[in-house]
Amino acid sequence: MAGRQKAAAAAGKRGPPAALLSPPSSEDEAPEEVSFGVAREAAETQRKLVGAAARRHRELLKEKRRRRQELFAEQKKRKLLPEAVLQELAAAPPAGAEAQAAAADRGKRRGGGAAKQRQGQAQRQVKKNERRKGGARSEGNYMAVRLKDQSLIGLHQQLAKDFLNTQLYGPGTNRVQANEFFSLENKKNPVKKAAVQFVDQSWGQEKKQRAMRFKKRWLATQIKRSGV
């Protein structure tokens, strides 16, 4: 109740004609007659209100943005070293900086070369030590290759071989291991034999190790006994 009264009072202060804001009387009556000028004024004020609201909204956003930018600038400034140190570094060996840039360049190329190396065939490799002459560089896990040795031909050939491999041995080709294949004959023969199984050296590792340890101990006791 109080809210509605306040709103009505606020509306009254702005001053749209009371006629427009008056609550509708009964539905039987015809709409009220309003003159053109009155209507025009009403529309104008309405427009002004909306425009003002939009302007205020825009101002608010701008203010927010400005505040955020300042905050970031502040944070960035906090991260960097103090001005004095930066200036000192900038002045100090420009040669060192160039070497760094060159190393970064070579590193990029090497990265590309290494990627190609994976796809190409075995190529000659330049020894890592040969390159270590110029500029200090950190020890890294990389492979130096000659770009001349990497060729497009190797890549095409590898793609062709991969295609052939997938078509003949890829999924959907129903391939089977050799022992299963050759066991079929053993199973279907008139004299049935066991399936073909390939000896795996890792079978019975524990037993083998225990046997070896026992053998060592036993030999030691034998030697001791015979020695004594």
Among 3, 172, 190, 227, binds other proteins (CB under 8 A): 172
As measured in angstroms, the least distance from the Cβ of 197 to other proteins is: 11
β-pair partners for 125: 145
| Sequential DSSP letters for 136-169 | -----S---B-TTT--HHHHHHHHHHHHHHHHHH
- 120 neighbors 150 (Cβ within 8 angstroms): yes
Q: Is 167 in the site for other proteins (CB under 8 A)?
A: yes
φ and ψ at residue 145, rounded to 5 degrees: -130, 155
Among 175, 193, 208, 213, binds other proteins (CB under 8 A): 175
Separation of alpha carbons 91 and 86, rounded Å: 9
Q: Is 156 in the site for other proteins (CB under 8 A)?
A: yes
Residue 45 or 158 having the CB closest to other proteins: 158
215-220 contacts: CB < 8 A, separation 24 or more? none
Residue 121 or 125 having the CB closest to other proteins: 121
First-to-last CA distance in the chain?
117
Q: Is 169 in the site for other proteins (CB under 8 A)?
A: yes
The span of 3-11, 54-62, 80-88, 164-172 binding other proteins (CB under 8 A) equals 164-172
The span of 35-43, 64-72, 87-95, 149-157 binding other proteins (CB under 8 A) equals 149-157
Residue 22 or 197 having the CB closest to other proteins: 197
Separation of alpha carbons 145 and 137, rounded Å: 17
φ and ψ at residue 68, rounded to 5 degrees: -65, -45
The span of 38-46, 75-83, 133-141, 174-182 binding other proteins (CB under 8 A) equals 174-182
As measured in angstroms, the least distance from the Cβ of 189 to other proteins is: 12
**What residue ranges bind other proteins (CB under 8 A)?**
121, 153, 156-157, 159-161, 163, 167-169, 172-182, 184, 187-188, 198
